[in-house]
Amino acid sequence: MFSEKMHALGTSPSVIRDLFEYGNKRKAEIGADKVFDFSIGNPSVEPPEIVKETIEKLLNESDGVSLHGYTSGPGDMSVRMAVSDYIEKTHGAKASPNHIYMTCGAAASLTVTLGALCEDGDEFITFAPYFPEYRVFVESAGAVFKAAKSDKNDLQPDLASLEDLIMPHTKGIILNSPNNPSGVVVSEENIIKLCELLKKKSAEIGHPIVLISDEPYRELVYGDVKVPYLMNYYDDTIVCYSYSKSLSLPGERIGYIAVSDKMTGADDVFFAICGSGRSMGYVCAPSLFQRVIKECQGMTSDISVYEKNRTILLNALTSYGYRCLSPDGAFYLFVEALEKDAKAFSEKAKEYELLLVPSDSFGVEGFVRISYCVSTEQIENSLPAFEALAKAYK
Amino acid sequence: MFSEKMHALGTSPSVIRDLFEYGNKRKAEIGADKVFDFSIGNPSVEPPEIVKETIEKLLNESDGVSLHGYTSGPGDMSVRMAVSDYIEKTHGAKASPNHIYMTCGAAASLTVTLGALCEDGDEFITFAPYFPEYRVFVESAGAVFKAAKSDKNDLQPDLASLEDLIMPHTKGIILNSPNNPSGVVVSEENIIKLCELLKKKSAEIGHPIVLISDEPYRELVYGDVKVPYLMNYYDDTIVCYSYSKSLSLPGERIGYIAVSDKMTGADDVFFAICGSGRSMGYVCAPSLFQRVIKECQGMTSDISVYEKNRTILLNALTSYGYRCLSPDGAFYLFVEALEKDAKAFSEKAKEYELLLVPSDSFGVEGFVRISYCVSTEQIENSLPAFEALAKAYK
């Protein structure tokens, strides 16, 4: 009657969703302000005012038939030009408008790209910890999913582990920096080494290994941290981007795929992307929000709130004895669990009304993810609970 | 480097797109008002005023974090309740909110449904003439696509032809009424016969045959024509809907899948739909437009424009000697070509600056599709050309 595989995907338990639902139940029992829910990675900051202003302007100045009408499959050409210009101006990299494909958000950017690249027997590799949907997307494209390790101390990519996994069937690598769930930004030094390795291995296996840069958190970095633009380091790069986090628009499903002009057979790869989107019924990215993001290139929500939350949490947790790893970007802290079993630690944290996601579903053991895209008030109120939890392990 | 299959899909020639592009070129040469482009099925009528009003109200009264935030995968529960209520109130059929899945438009409704149902070796059958993407969507889900015939005189489904095609591997039927490209609305009498056949054949092959009703043109019917609601005639029905045509919002990608409460294993089918959407990266339908359509249930753009165009065109073409088939709905006229080869007829029509889509890509020979979702002025100005074209064949 139905696909067992899709049924399994539709019913598979999600640790994050379960925690979130537990939190809602618990809030109803003891009051919302008594439960410290750090489970969900939803932007908590309003979109910048220009989003609303642009929507109002478009509604008043455009005719509805054009504004809400179909764009071409890869997107409105003026929008693709704006994205291409922004990439060149900001990063000095060239992805011409003919290599920009507007998508329904980051997940679509990935599924469409993977579908475009994947042939029978292909393998894609990422680094653990990783966003759990990577496995779903890679396997749904018909490929094999593999995870290389990260360094235990700073969660930077472990390149020796990657080298061991690269085989003739390796089609590509997915790099996610700033990283969900760890918040880690891969250093330029490691990017250079990674790209050297990919070039060497591409030559060895006789075909280019594609570097997919999944970077919805690009703008969410703190201090003077830089996120290197991968097209400048490696020709066979495809950038998968979304405005969900930078503009606080996750529900609107708007993002893009950018194929480097320098990519081997860039035009053909782009045609395959168009075909892949078509096969999944992605007719075009939402037309109103294509026009909105055209006017918002390089802008972000007020991410100083995330920075403030991060500083308070990082300082407090460190002073209580927690070990937090290189939290340079995104809105996640990856914290070592205070016992070996992260799930048991997450259960223990619940006794203190702290909802922390154990790291097992991210492909590593022994950590919890704390999403600090919450109110600063929640951060401040939760600190005694974190302190008490730490004391319970002493 | 890339999937040959997706590359082929991304580069496959499209008769409609080619005609449209030829039209743009020709307009630049001789003036836009001299070219009568009937190639594209884009709504030409403004969305109803309530769309703009609702967007403005939502922008002013909601906080941006909720308005533009993620909804759950199947959609915002209050939106799903509104859709479910509307179906029950209007059609007397039950698809509970737990069986409503909000989608990014009609194409996504179909790809997600097909992905949810399809297992190895499955077959899906539709009636020719059909929307050409059906083949792409069915084959991309991994199934075999087959087309049954329609009656030559009125283009109603040929049930004997369908019966011949139903095999043990038949998973479902796709019915599209009002039909693109023919405009035909399947009569209640034929719906009843079709459903009886499906019940008989389901019993014979030992599993239910799913009836997928693809109905983005449901509201676009003329005169006192009724479009029967299939859930009331057949339990194993899934409705794939889109607001693209009824509200003139094709670029916004908003629609839904409704699983009949009476469907065999309805809950499990729904879980498979959730899994299928997840596998393709459909995180949620666009959040702002979910809230917009909640307030627009049962409303439409001013479709009297289409009715007026249809009447003018139908009367004139008939008087010139063309045969137009049962054009009860949508915004298409399906007209018999004046020579056997519809492509040659379409080429001949170009000499009169008429852009008409030959029917071969819709799975039948000998017709052209005329999209009358254009200005009434274009319809009126084109009549002498249609008359001259008819005379050229006398």
- Could you write out the DSSP letters of every residue in A128-180? SS--THHHHHHHHTT-EEEEE-B-TTT--B-HHHHHHH--TTEEEEEE-SS-T
- pLDDT by residue (tens digit) across A195-235? 999 999 999 999 999 999 999 999 999 989 999 999 999 99
CA distance A391 to chain B (A): 36
DSSP three-state, residue B39: coil
Distances (CA, A) of B278 to A6, A51, A105, A136, B78: 9, 28, 13, 8, 21
Q: Could you list the pLDDT tens digit for every one of the 394 residues in chain B? A: 899 999 999 998 788 888 988 998 999 999 999 999 999 888 999 999 999 999 999 999 999 999 999 999 999 999 999 999 999 999 999 999 999 999 999 999 999 999 999 998 999 999 999 999 999 999 999 999 999 999 989 999 999 999 999 999 999 999 999 999 999 999 999 999 999 999 999 999 999 999 999 999 999 999 899 999 999 999 999 999 999 999 999 999 999 999 999 999 999 999 999 999 999 999 999 999 999 999 999 999 999 999 999 999 999 999 999 999 868 999 999 999 999 999 999 999 999 999 999 999 999 999 999 999 999 999 999 999 999 999 999 8
A25 pLDDT band, cuts 50/70/90, is very high
Record: contact B278-A45, CB cut-off 8 A: no
Query: B residues 141-200 near A, CB within 8 Å?
Result: none
| pLDDT over 80 at A328, yes or no | yes
Mean pLDDT value across residues A363-388: 97
Mean pLDDT value across residues A354-368: 96
Identify the pLDDT of residue B325.
82
Q: Does A275 touch chain B (CB under 8 A)?
A: yes
Asked if B352 and B34 count as a contact pair (C-beta separation under 8 A), the reply is no
pTM: 0.97
| pLDDT over 90 at A376, yes or no | yes
Give the list of residues 6+ apart from residue B48 with CB closer than 8 angstroms, or none. Answer: B247, B248, B296, B299, B300, B301, B302
The lowest-confidence range among A41-45, A49-53, A380-384, B179-183 is A41-45
Identify the pLDDT of residue B41.
87
Distances (CA, A) of A342 to A324, A346, A358: 14, 6, 5
C-alpha angle with apex A340: A337 to A345, nearest 5 degrees? 50
Record: contact B208-A1, CB cut-off 8 A: yes
Query: A residues 22-81 near B, CB within 8 Å?
Result: 42-47, 51-52, 55-56, 59, 63-65, 67-71
Q: Which chain A residues contact residue B286 at CB under 8 A?
A: 104, 251-253, 286, 289
Q: Which chain A residues contact residue B50 at CB under 8 A?
A: none
Q: How far apart are CA A207 and CA B266, in angstroms?
A: 46
Q: How far apart are CA A383 and CA A40, in angstroms?
A: 18
In what helix (H) or strand (E) does residue A118 lie, and over which residues does it extend?
Answer: none
| pLDDT over 90 at A17, yes or no | no
Nearest to A157 by CA among A123, A184, A122: A184
- pLDDT by residue (tens digit) across A279-316? 999 999 999 999 999 999 999 999 999 999 999 999 99
C-alpha angle with apex B336: B332 to B339, nearest 5 degrees? 140
| pLDDT over 90 at A21, yes or no | no
Q: Does A111 touch chain B (CB under 8 A)?
A: yes
Dihedral class, residue B75 (left if φ above 0, else alpha if ψ from -120 to 50, else beta): left
- pLDDT by residue (tens digit) across A83-142? 999 999 999 999 999 999 999 999 999 999 999 999 989 999 999 999 999 999 999 999
Q: Which chain A residues contact residue B104 at CB under 8 A?
A: 104, 253, 281-283, 286
Handedness of CA A169, A171, A175, A176 (dihedral sign): negative
Place of tokens 């455009």: A62
Identify the pLDDT of residue B56.
97
Record: contact B3-A276, CB cut-off 8 A: yes
